[in-house]
């Protein structure tokens, strides 16, 4: 076989009909996308397995033979551990820098320095004030918010002690972290120390390096990400169940289409407001459009979907495809997961690519920065650019495909659905697991990766889990993936096992719950901890019949999330391939080693069928260890589906 042939990915590119349609457009117009570039770039097998050290300029040292050493004498085990640890530090920094910016915005809003933003969720503010020991009695919401924001900010640069949210973990977990010395002190401190330890000639013990990777990642899960989620809820509202639509079919032929992409809602919240401003709509109509249509990609999309029902046009691999429709007038990006190729793709169309973060300059994109004191003004400027671009549209090709979805399952909303307004509780969920109606719980999260068929892993894993009576929560691009195939609506109960179906029908929820964006994986930590505190399912997260899965992961952030989930006691399975394949010792540390020390483990398993097998076996083993009644499929009768959520009728083509 020639080298050229070996580079070709042989799997189908995607299972999404809208993506298939757009890839034909890309091909006929000769425009490259990630789907085509993946065929041109063969991953370096040494780097892919984590066995390449680039941490000094004596190298890079590539470990290709058994027992080989780097120029400094480093073993492949040390190098593989260092590479993973650095990825965890990078992922942690991304989520945590996001959290810092939200805390800075909250502080500015509390001081009255931001025109157009005010504190939206006073209940959440009070709940967070409680976690942070901020007094609320007789104080204005601004006074409380100022203290909350300042304490949140102090978690980033803290040098000693521990992060404030560590108190939110179970007592047993806190004790374990303390004994292992992996309780994070300050978010930034752990990231910096991770970078230091993995630079030339410092930490030279794989187990020790990876223990600090756990500490660093816990600063993400129980620090940066959890703070980001909470501050966003305070500022913009805690999500509650909402219906919406998803996929490229949400773009409109006769309206100005603005697509937001990235992660932070600080500007996109203002864009939501500006897009519905009557003056802006009038401007759009003056240019011949019927209105302004806002859609999203990736996690910025998830943020405004969860709070406003704004439709996602797609997940990670849809970013170029959206522009290829020729119908996007402005494509607005903030930070993270943004392809540099967007500038090239948009150069073929009238689409105006707009970058908005001072942290992310994109050559060839226009730069309209978020004015932190007047976000609505920045948003209006952006909408105006889109309106001005609309008359320049040429041929468009918008796939007809879209599906309905339900989103907005914050932990507060799940508790409300389970117990009602006055006795919100996880009790019915615990009882369902204890009785064996539900076999267990799974979080299926993470990205798309063009090295595997887009959405196939997400879709297969989730369908199999719900068929086996496992309640699934999803975040990030995984949630958008399965929304496209109609799994996030009550009608998906037709794919669910009888026990799961009975519970979901009684409560009025779909079998797959959209919990939010990537930083909102922290909501899953909160859910699992509260489930433990509710009683009857053990003393800590590692007792639960629960798993975490990222079938199509690709980012450093995913590795950081996996690490903090493991550090919190979860069994995590990653698809696609292993970034630590180069070291059997590191693989053993992440599995056997972490299971012994922190109760969680991280396994890389490219075969989605084996992922499901391992997940179900784990759930079964945890049920047995808890002495729960045996799970018996088919024990429960099927009931008629109830319709708690109004799912809008539409003439589109939902994928099934």
CB of 337 to ligand MSK, least distance (A): 3
Q: How far apart are CA 257 and CA 292, in angstroms?
A: 6
Angle between helix axes 76-110 and 206-219 (nearest 10 degrees) is 10
Please, which residues bridge with residue 604 across strands? 574
Give me the least distance between CB of 634 and ligand MSK, in Å please: 35
Which residue number, 345 or 560, has a Cβ lying nearer to ligand MSK? 560
Rg (CA), the chain: 24
Between vectors from CA 608 to CA 602 and to CA 610, what angle results, nearest 5°? Answer: 70
Alpha carbons 208 and 182: distance in angstroms, whole number? 11
Residue 253, token pair as written in the block: 């032929």
**Which two tokens mark 114?**
């931001």
**Smaller CB separation from ligand MSK, 145 or 332:** 332
With respect to ligand MSK, which residue has the nearer C-beta, 74 or 88? 88
The string of DSSP letters for 524-593 reads HHHHHHHHHHHSSS-SSGGGSSEEEEETT--SHHHHHHHHHHHHTT-EEEE-S--TTTT-HHHHHIIIII
109 versus 554: smaller Cβ distance to ligand MSK: 554
Which residues are CB-contacts of 641 (< 8 A; sequence separation ≥ 6)? 490, 491, 493, 505
Identify which of residues 337 and 470 has a Cβ nearer to ligand MSK in the complex.
337
- Tell me whether residue 132 or residue 447 sits nearer to ligand MSK (CB atom): 447
CA dihedral for 633, 637, 642, 648, sign (positive or negative): positive
Cβ within 8 Å of residue 138, ≥6 positions away: none
| CB 302, min distance to ligand MSK, A | 7
Q: Which is nearer to ligand MSK, 78 or 563 (CB)?
A: 563
Phi (first) and psi of residue 371, to 5 degrees:
-85, 110
Q: Which CB, 518 or 576, lies closer to ligand MSK?
A: 518
374: nearest Cα among 107, 639, 117: 117
Q: Name the minimum Å distance from CB 560 to ligand MSK.
A: 10
Cβ atoms of 529 and 168 within 8 Å: the answer is: yes
Least distance in Å: CB of 477 to ligand MSK?
3
Min dist CB 614 to ligand MSK, Å, is 22
- Nearer to ligand MSK among residue 225 and residue 257 (C-beta): 225
Q: Is the dihedral of CA 177, 180, 183, 188 positive or negative?
A: negative
Question: What are the tokens at 560?
Answer: 């950081």
Contact 153, 231 (CB under 8 A): no
Residue ranges binding ligand MSK (CB under 6 A): 263, 298-299, 316, 337, 446-447, 476-477, 517-518, 555, 557
Closer to ligand MSK by CB, 300 or 346: give it. 300
Q: How far apart are CA 64 and CA 67, in angstroms?
A: 9
CB-wise, 446 or 510, nearer to ligand MSK?
Answer: 446
State in angstroms the smallest separation of the CB of 609 from ligand MSK.
22
- Rounded CA gap, 294 and 589, in Å? 46
Separation of alpha carbons 208 and 585, rounded Å: 13
Q: How far is the CB of 40 from ligand MSK (least distance, A)?
A: 21
CB of 300 to ligand MSK, least distance (A): 8
Specify whether the CB–CB gap between 332 and 258 falls below 8 A.
Answer: yes
Contact 253, 400 (CB under 8 A): no
Q: Tokens 């978020």 identify what position?
A: 370
Alpha helices (runs of H) in 256-324, residue ranges in sequence order: 265-275, 278-286, 298-308, 319-324
Q: Which two tokens stand for residue 245?
A: 């639509």
Q: Which is nearer to ligand MSK, 125 or 317 (CB)?
A: 317
Q: Are 328 and 351 in contact (CB under 8 A)?
A: yes
The residues pairing with 295 across neighbouring beta strands, listed in sequence order, are: 259
Nearer to ligand MSK, 61 or 487 (CB): 487
Between CA 317 and CA 301 the distance in angstroms is 14
CB closer to ligand MSK out of 158 and 263? 263
- Alpha-helix runs per DSSP H in 34-157: 34-40, 45-48, 76-110, 122-131, 141-157
The CA distance from 146 to 466, in Å, is 43
Query: What are phi and psi for residue 58, nearest 5 degrees?
Result: -80, -25
């Amino acid at each position: 076989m020639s080298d050229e042939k070996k580079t070709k990915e042989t799997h189908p590119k995607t299972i999404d009909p809208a993506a298939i349609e757009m890839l034909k457009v890309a091909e006929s117009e000769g425009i490259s996308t990630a789907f085509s570039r993946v065929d041109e770039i063969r991953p370096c097998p040494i780097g892919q397995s984590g066995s390449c050290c680039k941490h000094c300029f004596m190298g890079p040292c590539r470990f290709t033979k058994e027992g080989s050493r780097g120029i400094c004498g480093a073993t492949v085990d040390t190098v593989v551990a260092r590479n993973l640890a650095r990825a965890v530090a990078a992922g942690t920094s991304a989520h945590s820098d996001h959290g810092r910016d939200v805390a800075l915005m909250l502080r500015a809003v509390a001081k009255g320095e931001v025109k157009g933003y005010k504190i939206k969720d006073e209940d959440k503010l009070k709940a967070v004030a409680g976690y942070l020991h901020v007094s609320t009695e007789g104080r204005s919401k601004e006074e409380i918010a100022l203290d909350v924001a300042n304490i949140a900010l102090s978690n980033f640069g803290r040098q000693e002690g521990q992060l404030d949210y560590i108190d939110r973990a179970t007592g047993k977990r806190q004790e374990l972290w303390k004994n292992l010395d992996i309780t994070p002190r300050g978010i930034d401190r752990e990231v910096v120390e991770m970078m230091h330890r993995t630079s030339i000639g410092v930490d030279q013990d794989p187990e020790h390096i990876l223990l600090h990777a756990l500490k660093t990642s816990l600063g993400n899960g129980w620090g940066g990400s959890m703070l980001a989620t909470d501050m966003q809820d305070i500022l913009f509202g805690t999500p509650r169940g909402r219906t919406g639509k998803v996929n490229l079919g949400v773009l409109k032929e006769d309206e100005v289409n603005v697509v937001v992409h990235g992660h932070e809602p600080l500007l996109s919240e203002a864009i939501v407001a500006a897009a519905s401003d009557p003056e802006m709509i009038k401007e759009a109509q003056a240019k011949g459009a019927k209105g302004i249509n806002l859609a999203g990609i990736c996690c910025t999309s998830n943020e405004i979907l969860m709070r406003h029902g704004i439709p996602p046009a797609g997940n990670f691999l849809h970013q170029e495809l959206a522009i290829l429709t020729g119908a996007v007038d402005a494509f607005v990006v903030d930070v993270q997961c943004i392809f540099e190729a967007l500038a090239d793709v948009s150069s073929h169309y009238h689409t105006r690519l707009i970058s908005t973060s001072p942290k992310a300059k994109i050559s060839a994109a226009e730069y309209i920065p978020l004015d932190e004191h007047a976000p609505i003004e920045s948003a209006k400027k952006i909408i105006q650019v889109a309106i001005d671009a609309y008359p320049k549209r040429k041929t468009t090709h918008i796939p007809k495909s879209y599906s309905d979805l339900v989103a907005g399952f914050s932990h507060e909303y799940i508790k409300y659905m389970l117990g009602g307004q006055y006795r919100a509780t996880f009790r019915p969920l615990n009882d369902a697991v204890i009785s064996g109606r539900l076999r267990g719980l799974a979080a299926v999260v993470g990205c798309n990766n063009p090295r595997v068929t887009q959405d196939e892993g997400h879709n297969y894993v989730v369908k199999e889990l719900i068929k086996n009576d496992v309640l699934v929560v999803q975040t990030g691009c995984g949630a958008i993936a399965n929304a496209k195939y109609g799994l996030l609506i009550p009608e998906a109960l037709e794919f669910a096992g009888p026990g799961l179906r009975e519970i979901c029908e009684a409560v009025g929820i779909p079998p797959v719950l959209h919990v939010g964006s990537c930083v909102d994986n922290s909501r899953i930590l909160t859910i699992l901890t509260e489930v433990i505190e509710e009683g009857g399912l053990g003393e800590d997260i590692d007792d639960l019949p629960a798993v975490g899965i990222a079938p199509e992961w690709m980012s450093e952030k995913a590795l950081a999330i996996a690490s903090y989930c493991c550090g919190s006691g979860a069994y995590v399975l990653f698809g696609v391939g292993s970034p630590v394949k180069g070291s059997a010792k590191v693989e053993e540390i992440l599995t056997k080693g972490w299971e012994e020390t922190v109760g969680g483990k991280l396994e890389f398993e490219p075969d989605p069928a084996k992922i499901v097998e391992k997940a179900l076996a784990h759930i079964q083993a945890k049920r047995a260890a808890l002495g729960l009644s045996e799970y018996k499929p088919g024990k429960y009768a099927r009931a008629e589906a109830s319709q708690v959520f109004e799912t809008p009728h539409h003439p589109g083509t939902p994928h099934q």
